[in-house]
Chain A
């Protein structure tokens, strides 16, 4: 057994090559991932994502709207504009899909397109009916998603047909799309519950055959839809639930290259985000997401989570305007009446807040101790404290100094906070309070005990 010796240091090793405070912490690998597939060891190089054009795609206006009251046209256009800003010049948010069925659906597409944004590219979503192509053609879209359900649950129990019947119908619609010069994107609904060898692979291989006969811009894409969130990311997991094995089979024996493959997940087992990231690592270029993860039932991989995963994997911002994430969340909260849990990563009102006094003390001396990255720079939201009975004088002091914008030597000493600290303690010990103290209440205390400083901040 290797013996490890204590290495004492004069200066701390903060591992800033990984934990660069101005970026999401980098995800680094020191070797290949090995999967056993059909009895053979297959080596995957996770570092390959640095070279591949991995992208995020968006379904906020399709799947995202299936779980909430619809956005208004104006709301869709505003959100699309913000998505475009977030995406950056390289188009990290590469595509966004839209319903095309109602007049309102089509008005949204027209208005978003009128913005003239290069990214996200607008694509459609229709059922696998040849008649529905008229909508795609009318909107002059270059690509549309088609519902091509793949499990027997859907084929036999929902569509009331058999595999051969479904296969024939899907291929007819794909051929109709190509003929109409619209790129088909086949959504293999419920693929993590499908017979991979008995239906999915024959269908995908047929798509690859069609692809061989058409120009690049019409070659069919495949979206792997983990409709019920059954996908598993662990190496060694078996098909049909294994994300790695699915991706590997489709990109090798299926003949669909990474740039024409997309992963669409659901969060029923809390695996939506990690499955999407896993799909990236194993050779699928596009991860389909929604803003705040809002989507059917438990939702989809959250787009903002995918953005930080992307930055962490690429080790660079890649032109992404992360500040747009905070604006999007604010807009969803204020204008779209969306309830975002306070502790929701990256966008919840308290995602980088601490109530514990001992954490506040750490934050006060070096915010990196209790902040995931420079949230002030990347999200416009520096870490802060919420005050409750566990906050102590350290929490109170940090809250007050943050509120007054005082740093370094200008900070007010904890000793001067005694009266506010006493008020907080009495709220719980004498008044029997069981809720946190709101920012408004704290501001009132600052106004009472530090009126001059308060007046400067409040512009009084």
Chain B
């Protein structure tokens, strides 16, 4: 888990879900812990794609439940799409 990806991703989560950066932890679940609504989950994925210039597989992206899983998934996409 690189700091660069982690920091940038948490900043997106913070802005999208309107939760302070310092309150977001890797183990937090988007829906249950951070109160993400359905449309916000999609907006997060769209924002990750734009920020990291990646294409995410829709089905795999929908399986991501926590902030930590999102970081790992984005890193995987970056590695594969370099």
A, B from the same assembly: yes
Residues of A within 8 A of B (CB): 392-393, 413-419, 421-422, 425
- How long is the Cα–Cα vector from A413 to B58 in the complex, in angstroms? 6
Interface string of B36-61 (1 = CB under 8 A from A): 00110011011101000000101001
Q: Is the CB of A393 within 8 A of B39?
A: yes
A residues in contact with B42, CB < 8 Å: 393, 414-415, 417-418, 421
> Looking across the interface, which residue of chain B has its beta carbon closest to that of A393?
B42
Given the contacts A415-B45, A416-B46, A421 and B58 also touching, CB distance less than 8 Å:
no
Determine the distance from Cα of A293 to Cα of B10 in the docked complex, in whole angstroms.
60
Interface residues in B22-45 (C-beta closer than 8 Å to A)? 38-39, 42-43, 45
**Can you sample 19 A-B contacts with CB below 8 Å?**
A392-B38, A393-B39, A393-B42, A414-B42, A414-B58, A415-B45, A415-B49, A415-B58, A416-B46, A418-B39, A418-B42, A418-B43, A418-B45, A418-B46, A418-B47, A421-B39, A421-B43, A422-B39, A422-B43
Look across to chain A and name the residue whose beta carbon is closest to the beta carbon of B48: A415
* Docked complex Cα distance between A393 and B49 (Å): 17
CA distance A425 to B56 in the complex (A): 23
Min CB gap B46→A, angstroms: 4
**Chain B, Cβ-Cβ closest to A411:** B58
The answer to whether A425 and B46 touch (CB under 8 A), given A413-B58, A415-B56, is: no
Contact residues in A for B43 (Cβ distance below 8 Å) = 418, 421-422
For A419, what are the chain B residues with a Cβ–Cβ distance below 8 Å?
Answer: 46
* Complex alpha-carbon distance, A416 and B42, angstroms: 8
A421 to B37, CA, bound (A): 12
* Residue in B closest to A392 when the chains form the complex, CB atoms: B38
Closest to B47 in A: A418
Among B38, B42, B45, the one with the most A-chain Cβ atoms within 10 Å of its Cβ is: B42
Asked whether B38 lies within 8 Å of A393 as measured between CB atoms, the reply is yes
Q: Who on chain A is nearest to B46 by CB?
A: A418
A241 CB to closest chain B CB (Å) equals 52
Alpha-carbon gap, A425 to B40, bound state (A)? 10
- Mostly, the B contact residues are helix
A307 to chain B, nearest CB (A): 40
* Those 5 A-B pairs whose CB atoms lie nearest each other, nearest first: A418-B46, A413-B58, A415-B45, A418-B42, A418-B43
The CA of A419 and the CA of B49, in the complex, are separated in Å by 13
How many Å lie between the Cα of A119 and that of B56 in the bound state? 58
Query: Of all chain A residues, which has the CB nearest B43?
Result: A418
Closest B residue to A412 by CB, please name it.
B58
Q: Nearest chain-A residue to B62 (Cβ)?
A: A414
Query: How far is it, in angstroms, between the C-alpha of A359 and the C-alpha of B75 when the chains are bound?
Result: 33
Query: Which residue in chain B gives the minimum CB-CB distance to A425?
Result: B39
Write out the residue numbers on chain B whose beta carbons fall within 8 Å of the beta carbon of A393.
38-39, 42
B55 CB, nearest partner CB in chain A, Å? 8
Cα–Cα, bound, A419→B58 (Å): 16
In Å, the complex CA distance between A419 and B39 comes to 9
Query: Could you say which residues of chain B place their CB within 8 Å of the CB of A415?
Result: 42, 45-46, 49, 56, 58, 61
| Residues from chain A with Cβ under 8 Å of B49 in the complex | 415
Alpha-carbon separation in the docked complex, A421 to B42 (Å): 9
With a CB–CB cut-off of 8 A, which chain A residues contact B47?
A: 418
How far is B81's CA from A200's CA once the two chains are assembled, in angstroms?
A: 83
Contacts of A392 in B (CB 8 A): 38-39
Q: How distant is A28 from chain B, measured CB to nearest CB, in Å?
A: 38
CA distance A413 to B45 in the complex (A): 11
- Bound-state CA distance A414–B47 (Å) is 13
Kindly state the separation between the CA atoms of A413 and B46 in the bound complex, as whole angstroms. 10
- Distance, CA A418 to CA B12, complexed state (A): 15
Task: Please provide the chain B residues from 53 to 82 with a CB less than 8 Å away from any CB of chain A in the complex.
Answer: 56, 58, 61
CA distance A418 to B38 in the complex (A): 10
Question: A413: which B residues are within 8 A, CB to CB?
Answer: 56, 58
Contacts of A417 in B (CB 8 A): 42
- Given A393-B39, A417-B42, 19 new contacts (CB under 8 A): A392-B38, A392-B39, A393-B42, A413-B58, A414-B42, A414-B58, A415-B42, A415-B46, A415-B56, A416-B46, A418-B39, A418-B43, A418-B46, A419-B46, A421-B39, A421-B42, A421-B43, A422-B39, A425-B39
Contact with A along B4-34 (1 / 0, CB 8 A): 0000000000000000000000000000000
User: A393 CA to B37 CA in the complex, in Å?
Assistant: 11
Name the residue on B nearest A423 (C-beta).
B39
| Measured CA separation A415–B70 after assembly (Å) | 14
Instruction: Give Cα A256–Cα B58 distance, bound, in whole angstroms.
Output: 65
In the assembled complex, the Cα of A328 lies from the Cα of B30 at a distance in Å of 51
B61 surroundings in chain A (CB, below 8 A): 415
Residue of B nearest to A417 (CB): B42
Chain B residues near A416 (CB-CB < 8 A): 46
A132 to B38, CA, bound (A): 70
**Interchain nearest-CB distance for B53 vs A (Å):** 14
